[in-house]
Every structure is written in C-alpha cells, then in structure tokens.
Structure 1
Amino acid sequence: MKREFLLSIFLLFVVVYSTAQKSVALHSDGTTTIFGGDAPLIDAYDASITGDTLYVSGGNFVAPTTIDKGLVIIGAGYDTDSTAVTGKTYIYSSTINSGRIVIGSNASNLYMEGMQFQGGLVKSDADINGFTLIRLKIANLYFTNTGIVPTNASVIQCDILGDFHIQGVTYSVISNCILRGRILESNSNVFKNNVITYESGFGTLSNCDANTFMNNIFTTTNLLSDGNCSYNNFQYNIFAHPSPSLQTGATDLNNYKEVDMATVFVDMVASDFHLLPDASVTYLGDDGTEVGLYGGLLPFKEGAVPINPHVSFKSIQTTTDSNGVLNISFTVNAQQN
C-alpha cells in the first residue's frame, strides 16, 4: 500500500510539472488513474467509489456540489509559504449554498486534508459518522441535524474563518484549530488546544451544551456565551475576559483569566499564534504542555503541510539535451504525520 501511495503521488508530480496542468490522481483497487482537463476533481470524483483516494495537485479546482462518498481526498496544502513550489490546492463550488460544498448521507468516513475551500462545508440532516477534516482552510462549517446522533468526527489543525455551526455533530474532537467565528449548536464535543478569536458582542458560544473546553485560548474581552449554554466543562483555558460568562452549570477549573493577549502571542495580528517564551511555560494545559495550537497531542504543524510527500524544490530545464531528454529534478520530503 505504501508503494502504491508513493507511486500515485509521483505520477501526479510528473503530470503537473511536465504539463503545467492541474491534475487529480485517483487511486482505486490498486490502480492509479490521472485526470486532467477543465474539471479533473469532478471527473475523478465521478469515477470513484467509497474507499478510494484522490490526490489533488496545487491549483484551482471546481468541486462537485455534493460529496456523497466516503473518500480520502488529499491536496498539496493551503499555506502560501509551504506551497511555493506546488501551489496551494484551492477548491471552489458553484454559487448554490453560498459556495459551500454539501456533505451527503453516504459520506461516512470521509477524510479531507491539505486544501483551502473558497466556501465552506454544509451538512443538513445527513447522519454520517467518523469523518475527518485536517489541515484545511475553510470559510465556515454549517452542519444541521433534526436529531442528535453519534458522530465521532475529528476536526484537527484547521483554520476556520467563519462560524463553526455543528448541530448534530456529537462525541467529536476539535483540536489545535484556529476558530475565527462563533461556535454554535455544539453538543457533547471536546474542544482542545484551539485558539478562538471571535471578538464581536454576540457571544462566542451560542446554544452549546455539555461540551468540554480544555487548553484553549479565548481572545475576546466581550461576551463569551450568549446565555443559551449549559453544563459545559472549562479547564486550563486562557481567557482575556476577567470574568467570562460560562453560564448555567458550568465547571470552572484551573482557568487563566484576565490575560493580556499581548503577553501571550508572538503576533496575533499576523496570525502568528506561537506563544511567547514566558507564556509557553506559564500557561500549561492538563497534560503539562502549553495551551493553544502548539500544545497537546496534535501540535499545529508548521506550514500546515499535509501527510503526503511534500515537494520543496523543483528544477525543470527549458530545453532537451543532445539526446532529446528533458531533465527534471525534484526534492520530495516524506511526512511523518
């Protein structure tokens, strides 16, 4: 399997760099197929079945309006610095659903990593389980369900620019993420080692019940909760507010309050959420590591580089040699996580 994985990635590199075209490699049942053209992601998706893997090169890709299969979809990354050679993988959809991509009812075990979404992801009454979002940059999440069902999802090391609305997503872990909008309709989930930067007066948390918030950094000095939250567990969090509104039945244990964010982050304005040296040893979480993005079991990975082999250098000659050979060289770094 590892050999087939590396072959898929290598073939994708060769197609992209030799043709200067965006491409998608579909790995299915031991066979790799490369898709190019105007809509390679849609074409690869249409040809795939649940359990397949799609490797998406750097470039702008129109996506299916609905993802309704349990696929593994891995891009080249979204961070500008770490994708200087490959280009970032940028995914966009049609204007329906405000540009969001719909997650369908058959997408249990969906895994997506290393991409930026122009819009967000939307799920409405689709009872899926076990999905993973990792190292994605997303406009927002808008998940709704009429009933609460076990979900067991993971949202890890993502940068979510807007609201995090996850009604019907339960027993899930949101870890080492940058959450820039409100957290809405969360029930029975765990939020660990996140930086939560929403600053308006509407309440960072709304209709959130029975969640655990641990080792996070809440930067707001405005209202934390809008009053519709209950029985949440807060431990080892940094709060800028001197007396955050934790609301009915909350557990308040070992939290750090009225903390000046200028003494915490290297450069919050530039979204450099590394802790300053003093802060990294002062504000410790439940496991003894620093609170925020770079602590815990899953520290935020520099450059948000996805798990597939990362191209850090390329050299392509502009002409062939005397034997008609075009010399191409790559530096490809294996990733451990």
Structure 2
Amino acid sequence: MKRNFLVAIMTVVSVFMAKAQNNELPMATLEHGDQTLVFTGVDAFTAAYAAAGDKGDVITLSSGVFNFTINGAKPFSKSLTVRGAGFEDDAATGTKATVVNNGLTIGNEEITSYDDDGNPVVNVRKADGCKFEGISFKNKEINIQNGMNDITFIKCKFGDITAGSYIQENKKNGFVSSFTIRQCVFWRINPYRIMGENYSITIQNLYVTNSHFSYIGGFASTSTIKVDHSVVTEENKHAILFATNSILYSSLRAGSTAKNNIFVGLNSSIGDDVQDFDNNWTSVANAGVWAAEGEDGSYAKDKTFELKYPNKYIGNDGTQVGLHGGNYPWNKIPSMPRIVESNIDTRTSADGKLKVNIKVEAQTKD
C-alpha cells in the first residue's frame, strides 16, 4: 500500500537567486532541525552534505544523476540518512533511478577548531550510524574505513565494498563492525589488501539479507558474517559464513555454518569441515531453481528471482528460501519517502522567495 502527499516548501536558497531553474534538474532536500533546504543540479548532493549537521539530518535525492565530492577527497564522515528514488528505473510508476556517479568512502574525520586562546582543538567526527537507501552507485566502489560502526545500505546498487584498513605505522589490523546490507545488488565484499603485507581484517556483525551478490572475501577467522535469504553467484570459496535460507553457487570454507540453503549445480559442494550442516539441498540443477532460468544458466533471467518451486524450498523461518522470503522480501522500491515529481517556479516572488512543489511517495511496507 502506498500513500502520496504534497509538500509545499517556501524557502530562500542562494542557488535559486542566481538564475531560473529547470524543473528537470536533479534535486536534494535537506532536513536540518526545523529547516528544510533545497538544492538543485548535479552537485546538489554535495551541497546538501556540506550544509548538513554532523548527526541526525536527512538528505532526500530525487531521480537523476548526481556527483558527490568532498574537498580534499575527505571521507563521508557525518551520521546522516541519505535516501533516493530507487537504484533502477521503476516502469510501474515511471520513476527514474537516483544515480551517484562517484564511489563513496565512509570514515571518521579529524576536525580542528580553536579555543578562545587560539589553541587548536582536535575532535573526531564520526559517520557511525549513517544509512543509505534507494541509490545506485553504478558499479563504483564503497570503501568502509577502519573503525567504522553501524553502517546500513538498503535497496542500493554498487560494485565492490572494501572494508577495513591496515595502519602500517602502528602495525594494527583493520576492524569494522555492525554493517548491514539489505535488499541490495552488488558485486563483492573484500577486506582491504596491501600486496606483500601480512595482516588481517576483522569484520564483526556483517549481516547481508535478501540481496543478490557475487562474493564475500577472506576476512579474518575472528569475523562474524551472516548471509540470509540471498543469492550468491560466485563459485570460489568465501570467507567463513553463517549461511541460511540462501541460494549458493559456491562451496563453503571450513568452519562455516549452513542451514536450509540450496547449493546449485552438479559439481557444487558444501566444503570441507563445515561446522554445522543442516537441512540443505545439494547438487540442485539450475533448471529446478528459477521460474525463469537465466540465459547463462546461472540465475533468474527476468531478475525477479522467483523460485520455480517456492513451496518446496522452505527456510528455517518457515518462509521460502531466497530473496522473496524472510522479514524483508525482495522489493526495490524505497520504504522511506522519495521525490517522484517536482515543480519549481522559474521566478522568485517580490520578497525573494521561490515556490517549490514536491510530490513525495512513501511505501508503507519494506
């Protein structure tokens, strides 16, 4: 069920004062305390981020293509919610995707201020708790720097994720915790690597659910990685996983746990010394998995990921195995409000204000 509502915003925004705006320009709105600020153009996301506070603000991106850059190649270091219109075009509603041209680096940043005596005071600004929903980062890399905590991606598309870093001067191994990926499409999650260096990256509480991806790389054995109701396509052995209710085209590494998974392909295996192997289906032919078999014989042709026999493959939670089961069945439309239509007056009023009408659509279910 959906609800539509119209938000009328009367605000003074410097970019509007300079020239008349095209209604088709990409738009970013920033909810900052009691204020709602509006920015337009390909750099609107960058401008909204710059104007946002350090924690708790919400940036909503319309359909369209955005650049995102921070001066000096600094990381995304604010605890914000950033939401878009979806990671791909929605034919049913005619809503176009929200696309960010650049990759994204998320990390902490040292901010220097000065006290009354002119002495420098250094504080660390943290991106812990930031959330992204309904955005396509195309096939760009998402880099989660060392020490990050509580990062969430929902209904997004991106390429690789690189997690953690190795601090050479201190000889410390990397650590990232509480990282959630839900209803996303991406390529791989890998630990940060330096050729010739001996170190390990620990990722604690990585939770990937109802997502379609290729591979999770070799994180340290101290990591905790759970994959649930997902489709995993690469055949190489992954990191040590706790895999449940998923469809896997790969074997599992020693020490993994596997419950209620479909292992696809005549040559698929569960891996050596799997710690806990319970109620799985092995050596399942690809033709017995998908309602619409892929042309390359690997996954659903129509990308809806509908099972051929949804009542046969039941997970340990009582719902069907794969993307359409669990608490977050596959759905690409963002659950939070998204800008689906905007109309911006081309002239300001006598008192320098500009009328902006924004049609926002929200989905009440995930």
Which bracket does the TM-score occupy, shorter chain normalised?
0.7 to 0.9
In structure 1, what is the equivalent of residue 287 of structure 2? 262
Q: 1:70 and 1:259 mapped to 2: Cα distance?
A: 44
For the pair 1:44 / 2:48, whether they are aligned, the reply is yes
Could you tell me which residue of structure 2 aligns to residue 168 of structure 1?
A: 202
Could you say which residue in structure 2 is the equivalent of 1:320?
Answer: none
Corresponding residue of 1:90 = 99
Q: Which protein is richer in helix relative to its size?
A: 1
Cα shift at 1:48: 1.0
Match of residue 272 from structure 2? 247
Checking the alignment, whether the CA contact within 8 Å between 1:194 and 1:293 is kept in structure 2 is yes
Q: 2:358 & 2:35 partners in 1: Cα distance?
A: 25
Matches within 5 A, 1:176-191: 176-179=210-213, 181-186=214-219, 187-191=223-227
- Pairing 1:127–2:147 present: yes
* Matched letter for residue 211 of structure 2: C
Q: Aligned pairs, how many?
A: 292
CA contact 2:63–2:339 (8 Å) conserved in 1: no
Distance (whole Å) between structure 1 residues aligned to residue 227 and residue 42 of structure 2: 39
User: What TM-score do you get using the length of structure 2 for normalisation?
Assistant: 0.72
User: Of the candidates 322, 327, 333, which is equivalent to residue 292 of structure 1?
Assistant: 322
Number of the residue aligned with 1:336: 365
Instruction: Note closer, same or farther for the CA distance 1:310–1:43 as it changes in structure 2 (3 Å cut).
Output: closer
Cα pair distance change 1:10/1:238, threshold 3 Å? farther
Do the aligned partners of 1:70 and 1:110 also contact (CA within 8 Å) in 2?
Answer: yes
How many angstroms apart in 1 are the aligned matches of 2:207 and 2:320? Answer: 18
Percentage of matched positions with identical amino acids: 22
- Superimposed CA distance per residue, residues 73-109 of structure 1 (whole angstroms, 9 cap, x where no aligned partner): 000112222585332100012xxxxxx3111122110
What SS class does the counterpart of residue 42 from structure 1 fall into? helix
Deviation, structure 1 residue 189: 1.5
C-alpha separation between the residues in 2 aligned to 1:51 and 1:315? Answer: 25
Q: Equivalences for 1:1-337 in 2 at 5 Å?
A: 11=9, 19-49=23-53, 50-64=55-69, 66-82=75-91, 85-93=94-102, 100-105=103-108, 106-118=126-138, 119-124=140-145, 126-146=146-166, 147=173, 149=175, 151-160=177-186, 162-166=187-191, 167-179=201-213, 181-186=214-219, 187-199=223-235, 203-205=236-238, 208-209=239-240, 211-220=241-250, 224-225=251-252, 229-242=253-266, 244-267=269-292, 268-276=300-308, 279-301=309-331, 304-309=332-337, 332=361, 334-337=363-366
Q: Tell me the secondary structure at the aligned position of residue 290 of structure 1.
A: coil
Mapped partners of 2:359, 2:28: distance in 1: 19
User: CA-atom RMSD, angstroms?
Assistant: 2.9
Q: Give the SS at the match of 2:302.
A: coil
Gaps of 5+ in 1: 1-5, 94-99, 317-327
Structure 1 CA distance, aligned partners of 2:77 and 2:289? Answer: 42
Give the Å deviation of 1:172.
2.6
Identify the residue that residue 197 of structure 2 maps to in structure 1.
Answer: none
Q: 1:116 to 1:172 in 2, by over 3 A?
A: same
- Tell which structure's C-alpha radius of gyration is larger: 2
Q: Is the 8 A contact 1:82 1:305 kept in 2?
A: no
Deviations along 1:60-79, one digit per CA (max 9) or x if unpaired, are 00012531111100001122
